[in-house]
Structures are given as C-alpha cells and as structure tokens.
Amino acid sequence: MRKILLLGAIMTAATNLLFVLLAQYPPDIVTLAVVVSADNLSGGIANVALIAWLSSMTSASFTATQYALFSSLMTLPGKFLGGFSGIVVADFGYAQFFLVAGVMGVPAILLAIFMMRQGKRLDALAPRKKEEIEPGSEPALRES
C-alpha cells in the first residue's frame, strides 16, 4: 500500500508541473483535456491510497470517529492554503503558481519514502485487528 502512496504523491506533483507547461503555450483543448485527465487520475490514486492507509490505522472500536478525524485532517491543509491561491496567481502568474504547487509535493514524496523504509515500526503502531488477537490473550473484564 505504501508504494501506491508514493506513486500517488509523485503523480500528483508531476501533474502540477504539467499545468506549468500548459500555462506556457497557446490554448489547446486537447492538451488541456490530457492534463486535466492526468491530474484527476493522479488525485484519485493518491486519495484512494491515503484513505485505504488511514482506514488500516483505525481501531475497530472507534472506526467512525477516527476515520472522520483523519479524513478531515487530510483535507485541512489543502483547503486552508487553497484560499490564498488567487493571491499567488494574481501576483506571480499561473506558471509560477503551479511550479510552487509541484514543489510542495516534495514533502509528501519524502514522507511516503520514509513510510516505506520504516514500515515495520509503523505497522507496530497500528491497532491489532480482532482476527489477529489470539484467543485467551484478551484482558479479562473486572466485575464490580
């Protein structure tokens, strides 16, 4: 799953760089369709991989709450920074905006590489699933 996270991060950053190229040339509907399609594909891969990973990190006892919090936190930085995008475009232009957006993907790529290298340590932090718990190893409930 972590390889797909890395692929999604790379593809998302790369498609932002495709928008840089698009801003440099005269308008062409076919090129626009290809770039937007690539952007949608990369965003879809990245989002599905991240949601699958977040789901694997939730505890069965608190799945709905943890998933709601994780998925909300996942979109918060983009929503916050997206509010300033118009200012950046007005001051610097579309090409520079998408160049900065592509460069902002580098931390996500580095994080995915870190996750791949530290996989066993991260897996140890994930909650154990019920089928992984051995019978009789669950703590006994105390009677009051």
Q: Secondary structure of 84-140 in the HEC alphabet?
A: CHHHHHHHHCHHHHHHHHHHCCHHHHHHHHHHHHCHHHHHHHCCCCHHHCCCCCCCC
pLDDT mean over 8-33: 93
End-to-end CA distance of the chain: 44
Predicted pLDDT at 73:
82
pLDDT computed for residue 47 by the predictor: 86
- pLDDT for position 131: 54
Would you state the pLDDT for residue 135? 53
For 74-94, what is the mean pLDDT?
86
| Per-residue pLDDT band at 109 (split at 50, 70, 90) | very high
Residue 6 in contact with residue 109, Cβ under 8 Å? yes
Please say if the pLDDT value at position 134 is more than 70.
no
- Lowest model confidence (mean pLDDT) among 113-117, 121-125, 140-144: 140-144
Euclidean distance between CA atoms 141 and 7, whole angstroms: 45
What is the reported pTM? 0.72
